[in-house]
Amino acid sequence: MDPLGAPSQFVDVDTLPSWGSSCEDKLNASGTAAETFQEDAIRSPFLYNKDINGKVVLWKGDVALLNCTAIVNTSNESLTDKNPVSESIFMLAGPDLKEDLQKLKGCRTGEAKLTKGFNLAARFIIHTVGPKYKNRYRTAAESSLYSCYRNVLQLAKEQSMSSIGFCVINSAKRGYPLEDATHIALRTVRRFLEIHGETIEKVVFAVSELEEATYQKLLPLYFPRSLKEESRSLPYLPADIGNAEGEPVVPERQIRISEKPGAPEDNHEEDEGLGVDLSFIGSHAFARMEGDIDKQRRLILQGQLSEAALQKQHQRNYNRWLCQARSEDLSDIASLKALYQTGVDNCGRTVMVVVGRNIPVTLIDMDKALLYFIHVMDHIAVKEYVLVYFHTLTSEYNHLDSDFLKKLYDVVDVKYKRNLKAVYFVHPTFRSKPNLELKCTACQHIKIYFNILILAFTIVTAYFFVYSSFTYKESAPLYQTYENI
C-alpha cells in the first residue's frame, strides 16, 4: 500500500486520453470540406466512428499498472512464462497469484482464463497463450492469435467488465512478426466493439516504446479519426481483413454452396417450360459421381488395395513423416553423432556411417530417432549410397529391436531401398548374426558380407583350437620332464 499522501504508481484508465481525442483539432481543421468531398467516394470497411474511437486508448507503459476492470497477461501453456509483462504482473500481484494459477492447470494456445487481480489495481487478470509463429504454418498462427483476442473480449463481455487493458499478446520469444500481429489485434478489437460495443467502455493498448510506433502507424487503418483519415488510410489496408468478426479467412477452406446447386444463378424467376437448357445438369461439383469411400476403406483393411493405390498411400505417409522431421527440433538426437556422412567410396557412392555404440536405445525417443534418420537421409537417398554399421563395443542397451527396424523399413520411401547398394557390418558377433538375418530385408548384401565374415571367423577359430590341442599334446612330456628336474 502506498504511504499516506504519496502518489500511487497505478494509472486510472479514465485519466488517459482516448484515441479519438488525440490530434483531434489537427485532423478536423478542414473537417466540413473533407466530409463533403468523401460523400461519393469509396468508403473503408472500417468506417470513421467517433463513439468507438472514444473507447480506445493507446498508452505507452506497463499493463500491470493500469487501474481497470481487467488486464491481459500473455504466457505459455503452463502459465509460467518469464517475459517482461508476466514478471511485472507477478511481482505486483503477489504470491497469491501463483497459487491461483496452479488451480487452472495450464491454458491452451488461443484460450483465455480468468484469475483475481490480488494486489493489482485491476480486479481481474485474463491469461492467454499466443501462438508460436512459423512461416509455413502462418494461417494456423493467425487463427490462434485471433482466438486469443476474441476469447479475451468474449470473457470480458460475459463477466460484464467495463474496461480492459491489453498487453501485446504476441511475444518476441514466440517469433510472431509485430506488424502482422498488430493488424489482427486492432481488427479483432474493432469488429468486437462494432457488435458488442455497448458492454465495454474502455479498451487500452499498453505498449512498449518499440511497439508504440507500429501501433501509431496501424491504428488509423482500423480506427480512423476523421473521414479524411479514413480515405487516406484505405489504400494501406491489407488484402485480408477477415470476416465480419475479424477472423482470418482462407478462401480455399470455405465451403461454397450456392442456394440452388442444381440450377443456374439468375436474378429472375421465369417459367421457361421445355425450352430450358439442361446441359449444365451434372456439371456441378456436388453432382459428380464419386467412388464408394467405405468400399475403399474396407479394401485397405482387407489388404486388397491395388499396387498403385498402396504406393500412393505409402508416399503420403512418408511425406507426413518428412514434414514432421523438418519442423521438429532434433538437436538432441543429432548431438549423439550416431549417423553422419563420411564421403564417397571408389564407385563415387555416398558413404553413410551408423555408430551403434552411440545409440542409447533405452534413453531416447525412437520416434525422434526415426525422424532424424529421415531428415538426414532424404536428400542422400536420391542417388546411390552405401551404409556402414559399426557394431564395435555395443552393449544390450544399444541394440535396435526388430519392431523399430520394421517400422523404419515400412516408413521410408522406395528411393531408400532402390538406391541402397551395400551395407557393411563391421565387428559383428555370433549373437548378432541370427538377429540380423531376421531383421534385415532391405538389402541382401548384408547377409552375404556377414556370412563371409562369420565363415572367416569360424575358420580362424577352428584352426586356433586344433593348433592349441596339438601343441598341448606335443609339449606335455617336456613339461613333465621340466618338473622332474
The CATH fold of domain 326-458: Phosphatidylinositol Transfer Protein Sec14p (3.40.525)
361 close to 398: Cβ distance less than 8 angstroms: yes
pLDDT score at 299: 65
> Within 13 Å and on the Cβ side, how many CA atoms surround 281?
3
- DSSP structural state of residue 322: H
pLDDT score at 77: 92
Got the DSSP string for 219-287?
HHHHS-SSHHHHHHHGGGS-S---STT-----GGGS----SSTTS---SS----GGG---TTTT-SGGG
* Structural class in CATH, domain 11-236: alpha beta
* Class of residue 44 by CB neighbours under 10 A (exposed 0-12, middle 13-18, buried 19+): buried
Residue in 170, 201, 171 with CA at minimum distance from that of residue 186: 170
Q: Distance between CA atoms of 472 and 467, rounded to whole angstroms?
A: 9
Could you give the dihedral angle defined by the CA atoms of residues 446, 448, 449 and 450, in that order, rounded to the nearest 10 degrees?
A: 80
116 close to 73: Cβ distance less than 8 angstroms: no
pTM above 0.75, yes or no: no
Intervals of the chain under pLDDT 70: 1-7, 22-41, 252-293, 295-306, 430-485
pLDDT score at 463: 56
Q: Which residues pair with 74 in a beta bridge?
A: 128
Q: Which residue type, as a one-letter code, is found at position 166?
A: F
* Residues whose CB falls within 8 Å of the CB of residue 40, separated by 6 or more in sequence, listed in order: none
183 close to 246: Cβ distance less than 8 angstroms: no
Domain ranges for the chain, please list them.
Answer: 11-236, 326-458
Residue in 31, 28, 136, 129 with CA at minimum distance from that of residue 80: 129
Q: Distance between CA atoms of 204 and 185, rounded to whole angstroms?
A: 12
**3-class DSSP state of 75:** strand
pLDDT score at 223: 95
CB atoms within 10 A of CB 40: 7
Quick one: angle between helices 432-439 and 402-411, nearest 10? 30
pLDDT score at 332: 86
Q: Tell me: the pLDDT tens digits for 37-90? A: 445 568 889 999 999 999 999 999 999 999 999 999 999 999 999 999 999 999
pLDDT score at 331: 86
